[in-house]
């Protein structure tokens, strides 16, 4: 059973101005939390972009691709998304990929370009197919690019 609160019936309640100030303070705190969250997210994206554009594909990243393919095969699938990155890291912000332009590989940079070159050298000769797609549209704009590796049989 809930305990009864003691209320002083003679004390004046908080003023409307005080209540508005409490609400305003809470809204300002929420806005500050959101600003801090966005700043952290922007820093993560900046850090990712630096690594993406300046460093090379690592053996660990190649191992992740192979593990994703193996997991898809185990699950009875013929395709797996093996890599993703923000579309704004393409030279055209993902427009060629979004419109299925056949020259989309020319817009790749950094690790995405390296992954594509690895596909051309190792995957394609082994019968794999690669497609790139925009996988999300935050705010209606192209978001992330996904590389999908496919090993389904060719249609007869």
> Per-residue pLDDT tens for 102-145?
999 999 999 999 999 999 999 999 999 999 999 999 999 999 99
Nearest to 133 by CA among 103, 106, 94: 94
Q: What is the pLDDT of residues 69-85, one digit of tens each?
A: 999 999 999 999 999 99
Q: What is the pLDDT averaged over residues 80-93?
A: 95
**83: part of which helix (H) or strand (E)?**
strand 79-86
- Is 80 exceeded by the pLDDT of residue 156? no
Q: What is the pLDDT averaged over residues 86-102?
A: 95
What's the pLDDT score for residue 135? 96
Q: What is the pLDDT of residues 28-72, one digit of tens each?
A: 999 999 999 989 988 888 887 888 888 999 999 999 999 999 999
Exposed e or buried b for every residue in 24-35, given b needs 16+ CB within 10 A? eeeeeeeeeeee
Residue 90 and residue 33: Cα distance in Å, rounded?
A: 31
**84: part of which helix (H) or strand (E)?**
strand 79-86
What's the pLDDT score for residue 1? 55
Q: What is the pTM of this model?
A: 0.73
């Amino acid at each position: 059973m809930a305990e009864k609160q003691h209320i002083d019936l003679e004390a004046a309640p908080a003023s409307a101005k005080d209540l508005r100030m409490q609400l305003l303070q809470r809204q300002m705190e929420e806005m500050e939390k959101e600003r801090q969250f966005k700043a952290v997210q922007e820093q993560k994206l900046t850090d990712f972009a630096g690594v993406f554009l300046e460093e090379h594909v690592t053996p660990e990243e190649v191992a992740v691709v192979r593990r994703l393919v193996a997991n898809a095969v185990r699950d009875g699938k013929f395709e797996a998304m093996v890599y993703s990155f923000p579309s704004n890291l393409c030279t055209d912000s993902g427009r060629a990929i979004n419109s299925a332009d056949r020259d989309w590989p020319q817009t790749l940079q950094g690790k995405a370009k390296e992954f594509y070159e690895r596909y051309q050298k190792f995957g394609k000769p082994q019968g794999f197919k690669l497609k790139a797609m925009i996988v999300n549209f935050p705010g209606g704009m192209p978001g992330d690019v996904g590389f999908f590796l496919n090993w389904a049989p060719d249609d007869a």
